[in-house]
């Protein structure tokens, strides 16, 4: 059987030698025993050799004895102690590298504004930087070897820290969480990141905890969120006020100005009938009548654009179909609406938002897309109205989509957000643009 086969399963000769060298390096007694054994056997071998060489003087005997001992010890030194010396040198280099890394770590940690703590598997502190003392008032040297409970951590935080630490020790992966506590300055919010530190055998030996005070950042985020909510509430209020004003103006134009123009038109028609024998007068009256007809049509158009009567009277589906026909009539761009709704009337705010988003989308098609066809789909999905407008134009770009001056897109989003919905815009170069609006039916 070969020497390789005599080794334990999964252990190679180089690794076995390396482990033996580590053992000898760590145990001077064993190292001395090995040297003594080597010298003993070298002397035995020398004595046996000199038995075969009688008649040698004492001086030559001593010289030859020393020579043979050194000769026999050289292979032992070369094959055994030389790797040991290399092992010692490598270990010293590794220890120096470890000391250098520790110095670098401490240089960074000692000057960091973040709290940096290292603790072991028993959750006892092995290191704490000066920021720990500044934040807690506990001297760093007093924290070494103690746990959070012994250092007076608030009782409600101890289970959280222990649970997070157990997760990191078990998984070997970093973990981030937030915690808060009350201090003399009020509530303090900290963001902690636990980073595992591995032992040579690959297990998690210690954990490095980096904690940062994010109180100011959270306050700013809350203020920004509150400000955004207020702006959106203001936008919704302004849009509602504008819609109400549009409805009022459209009604006044339609009811009052429209009726006046209709009455004047009727009077001019009667006048033309009464003086039909006066050709010159009849011609002038007919011209006035045509002008009045045009004025009536203009008034109706303006009133419809301000607030379509059919949106309130006939419902959202009819208003969308009417707008699609008007769009196709004015622009020549084919517009195909497919509407699949289970009900005709929706809440006023919902119907208005969907209709205005549709109008703004068609306006963008005219201004930017260069399309010759628009497909429109509107349907109910569970508790939402979904409007999809797809064109075959040049496609919206990322720059256009993210442009802060794209007030039309911003307006569509705000209308949807005000009701708890959303607007998504997709585009590909030369493949058109798709606008998808989701609006809750009962916001």
Residues of the chain with pLDDT under 70: 1-35, 38-39, 41-43, 45-85, 87, 183-185, 232, 236-237, 239, 243-244, 246-248, 250-260, 271-272, 274-277, 279-280, 300, 303-307, 309, 401-405
Predicted confidence at residue 8, as pLDDT, reads 47
Measured in whole angstroms, how far is the alpha carbon of residue 326 from the centre of its chain? 43
332-335's contacts with Cβ under 8 Å and 24+ in sequence apart are 333/365, 333/366, 333/371, 333/372, 333/373, 333/374, 334/372, 334/373, 334/374, 335/362, 335/373, 335/374, 335/376
Residue 53, CA atoms < 13 Å, CB-side half-sphere: 12
Question: How far is residue 103's CA from residue 239's CA, in Å, rounded to a whole number?
Answer: 62
Q: Can you tell me the distance from the alpha carbon of 115 to that of 311, in angstroms, rounded to the nearest whole number?
A: 61
| pLDDT at 18 (0 to 100) | 55
Strands of 264-364 (E only): list them. Answer: 334-340
Give CA angle at 155 (150, 160), nearest 5°: 100
- State both tokens at 372: 């010759």
- The Cα–Cα gap between 228 and 159 comes to 36
For residue 300, what are the β-bridge partners? none
Extended beta strands in 253-403, E state: 334-340, 373-381, 384-391
Q: How far apart are CA 365 and CA 391, in angstroms?
A: 7
What pLDDT shows up at residue 6? 47
Phi-psi group of 172: left, alpha or beta (phi > 0 → left; psi -120 to 50 → alpha; rest → beta): left
What pLDDT sits at residue 4?
44
- Return the beta strands (E) in 39-170 as ranges: 115-119, 125-128
**Secondary structure (3-state) at 209:** strand
Beta strands in 174-213 (DSSP E): 175-183, 186-198, 204-213
- If residue 433 lies in a helix (H) or strand (E), which one and from where to where? strand 432-440
Q: What is the pLDDT of residues 360-410, one digit of tens each?
A: 899 889 888 888 899 999 999 888 999 999 999 888 877 776 665 677 788
Q: What is the pTM of this model?
A: 0.49
pLDDT at 12: 53
The predicted structure's pLDDT at residue 186: 75
d(CA 20, CA 7): 14
pLDDT value, residue 5: 44
Check residue 175 and give its pLDDT. Answer: 93
Residue among 350, 364, 320, 360 at smallest CA distance from 338? 320
Q: Which tokens in the block code for residue 201? A: 């055998």
What pLDDT shows up at residue 16? 53
DSSP single-letter state for residue 127? E
Distance CA(384)–CA(25), nearest Å, equals: 75
> Would you tell me how many other CB atoms lie within 10 Å of the CB of residue 125?
22
Rounded CA-CA distance 221/230 in Å is 14
pLDDT in tens, 116-163: 899 899 999 998 888 888 888 888 888 899 988 888 888 888 888 889
Mapped onto helix, strand or coil, the DSSP state of residue 309 is helix
């Amino acid at each position: 059987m070969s020497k390789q086969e005599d080794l334990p399963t999964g252990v190679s000769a180089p690794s076995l030698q390396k482990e033996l060298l580590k053992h000898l390096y760590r145990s001077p007694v064993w190292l001395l025993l090995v040297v003594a054994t080597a010298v003993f056997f070298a002397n035995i071998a020398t004595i046996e050799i000199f038995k075969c060489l009688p008649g040698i003087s004492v001086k030559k005997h001593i010289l030859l004895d020393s020579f043979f001992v050194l000769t026999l010890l050289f292979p032992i030194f070369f094959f055994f102690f030389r790797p040991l010396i290399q092992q010692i040198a490598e270990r010293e280099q590794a220890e120096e590298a470890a000391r250098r890394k520790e110095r670098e770590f401490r240089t960074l940690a000692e000057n960091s504004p973040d709290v940096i703590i290292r603790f072991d598997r028993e959750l006892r502190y092995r290191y704490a930087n000066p920021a720990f003392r500044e934040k807690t008032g506990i001297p760093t040297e007093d924290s070494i070897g103690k746990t959070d409970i012994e250092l007076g951590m608030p009782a409600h935080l101890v289970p959280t820290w222990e649970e997070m630490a157990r997760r990191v020790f078990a998984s070997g992966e970093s973990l981030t969480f937030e915690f808060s506590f009350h201090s003399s300055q009020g509530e303090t919010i900290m963001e902690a990141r636990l980073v595992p530190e591995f032992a040579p055998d690959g297990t998690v030996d210690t954990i490095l905890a980096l904690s940062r005070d994010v109180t100011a950042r959270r306050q700013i985020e809350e203020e920004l969120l509150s400000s955004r909510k207020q702006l959106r509430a203001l936008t919704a209020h302004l849009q509602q006020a504008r819609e109400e004003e549009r409805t009022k103006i459209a009604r006044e134009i339609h009811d009052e100005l429209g009726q006046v123009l209709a009455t004047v038109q009727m009077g001019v028609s009667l006048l033309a009938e009464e003086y039909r024998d006066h050709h010159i007068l009849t011609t002038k009256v007919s011209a006035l009548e045509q002008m009045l007809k045009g004025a009536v049509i203009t008034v109706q158009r303006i009133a419809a654009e301000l607030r379509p009567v059919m949106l309130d009277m006939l419902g959202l589906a009819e208003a969308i179909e009417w707008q699609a026909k008007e769009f196709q009539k004015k622009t020549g761009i084919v517009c195909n609406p497919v509407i699949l709704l289970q009900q005709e009337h929706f809440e006023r705010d919902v119907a208005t938002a969907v209709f205005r988003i549709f109008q703004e989308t068609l306006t963008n098609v005219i201004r930017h897309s260069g399309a010759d066809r628009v497909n429109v789909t509107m349907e109910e999905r569970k508790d939402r109205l979904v409007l999809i407008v797809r064109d075959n134009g040049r496609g919206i770009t990322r720059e256009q989509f993210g442009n802060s001056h794209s007030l039309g897109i911003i307006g569509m989003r705000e209308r949807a957000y005000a009701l708890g919905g959303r607007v998504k815009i997709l585009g590909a170069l030369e493949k058109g643009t798709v606008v998808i609006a989701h609006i809750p039916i009962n916001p």
